[in-house]
Structure 1
Amino acid sequence: MSESKNPVNNSSSGLERAGGNGDLVQSDRFPDPGVPEHKPRLTDVDPKAAKRAERTVAILFGISCLGTIASLVAYFAVRPDGTVEGTRLSTQLLGIGLGVSLLGIAVAAIHWAKALMSNHEYIDERHPTATSPENREVAVAALQQGANDSGIARRGVLKGAVVSALALFPLTIAVPLVSSVGGDWNVSSFRHTLWTKGRRLAYDPSGRLIKAADLTIGSVAHVIPDVPEEERQTEEWITEKAKAVVLLVRLDPADLKSDHREGASYQGIVAYSKICTHVGCPVALYEQQTHHLLCPCHQSTFDISDGAKVVFGPAKRPLPQLPITVDDEGYLVAEDDFDEPIGPSYWERLK
């Protein structure tokens, strides 16, 4: 028997089976469901509810303004004092102020749109785009209609609240930027760190000294210079520590492809700056099998077994290496400072 080639109509689903391949194709017989019946909101029918919603939006914008002011006060009143606790407190207060400022604007805008702006359904059929004067007039009229629907023209309180919130918020970014102009631009300070010949390596943050015998193959340690306790209490310590942080890794000496700096490692133990040479993020994600060190910010990848050379990502230079050896007591010590300035490139670099 020959198979019928006539399409079979499936009226219940609105689909047609075309040909003998069994494929379903869309039928043109679907009815247009139209726009659902409009259901007014409480604020559309109750002027008191609309007024309450307007007050709520204004209060939210006011909270945003307070958040902006609070962040500015925190910036000037709670400055980092050189300690970890002081820097953490300053950063947290700034973050809270910025968060409240942005959250106030966002929640106010959402509540305004849901409770006060027009929620009528509009149908705009698509036509070929043109740039005729008539179309431009229609676009301008649509924009004007949107402005009218927002109700901002007839709600003076909201207009003042949104303008105040949006005008104040940029100050949270502009003031710190402007106040930093004229600060310490001595880029030569990046040429030298606390590391000097004979300075011992210590675990971060405990400050416990490190012996080479403590490290097994595959061990990774976050390292800072060993300095007297009274020096750690100074305002300069946190800045100097940030420049001198080191990642210490012990490899099988047979896995070292190059030392990057002749004699700078000790029995497979290598030490490199944790500051990425791209934009200065902390490089601390170590993959033991490949000996790759990853920067989490922009995925620059360095090969610890090959002089911390760049194998992937936007960084252009290897990580600076700290030459190390051991002293008479078996503690790891620096033989000198880093072999080149730490951190990203800058205009006065000689290398």
Structure 2
Amino acid sequence: MSETGRHADVPEEILPSERETAHEGVVTTKADPFADPGLPHHEHRAQDIDERAAKRSERTVAMLFLVSMIATVGFIAAYVAIPIEKIVYIFPLGHISGLNFALGLTLGVALFCIGAGAVHWARTLMSDVEVADDRHPIEATPEVKAKVMADFREGAAESQFGRRKLIRNTMFGALALVPLSGVVLLRDLGPLPEKKLRTTGWKKGIRLVNQSTNLPLRPEDIAVGSLTFAKPEGLEEDDHDFNNKIAKDSLMLVRIEPRNIKDKRELEWSHEGIVAYSKICTHVGCPISLYEQQTHHVLCPCHQSTFDLADGGRVIFGPAGHALPQLNITVKDGYLEAVSDFEEPVGPSFWERG
């Protein structure tokens, strides 16, 4: 088919010519249809030629950053003021947690406003001149490095970061406050331990009660070589926080011939060879229950930490980091009782432990 025949039904004015001129005067031909068309002519924005328009954009960006700051403060206030059990009705979500809704809304607004402010700043005040740069080798030459630094300085100047102080200051405020949301959420890791890790239910005058019979212990109840488990008097299994308390208060008592006790303080804190030690392993807090009568060693069944009850409860084997805490005991009215609480925290080590 001839050239004329192929285009017979197409108006002549819309047929491509042999030479066409694209943007910036770059010429393409039918033989090279994919030639670089160049960049379109740059059109100035209203903010580039009108300082009043630039000021309006500046105030808009600053307002977005300010709203972000207010939303962050609202996030913290909601976290503190709204009880976790509060249920509210939100259409169309239905009945949901008021705390979760408030936290999600305020944090979402805070992050959105920072992003929207940055985008509006870039689109209205920062330079929007398109620049074409040829590819270059990966290894930069001194000239390229100098050009990069020059471009960086030029970009910093064109961003008007130093000039637009209102934007700069509100952006710093928004970015400084947003991380506080994450810091506040650390509270959900649990309540602060305060002195709870350092104290137990033992104190002066508290009787030792047999954990099996629930009866107060007399010295004659404990035979040489036996292992007896005890708890503080008044701690009952039906208490709502029994498990939490017994995890620190649980005690083991053995009777050793006084001449076999090597540690002087242990001997002073015992009664007729009866020594009382925390039952909680100082490695990861497992309950110790295996006692070897001949050596006076107790073994933790979890990781085989071994302690010498005739030598201050010191560690002789295994991963435990420190000796078992000893409870100072005495006898009053024929019953064993505590002289005071443990002098050191029971159980595993923690970072505040001295």
**TM-score normalised according to structure 1 size:** 0.46
Please say which structure displays the higher CA radius of gyration.
2
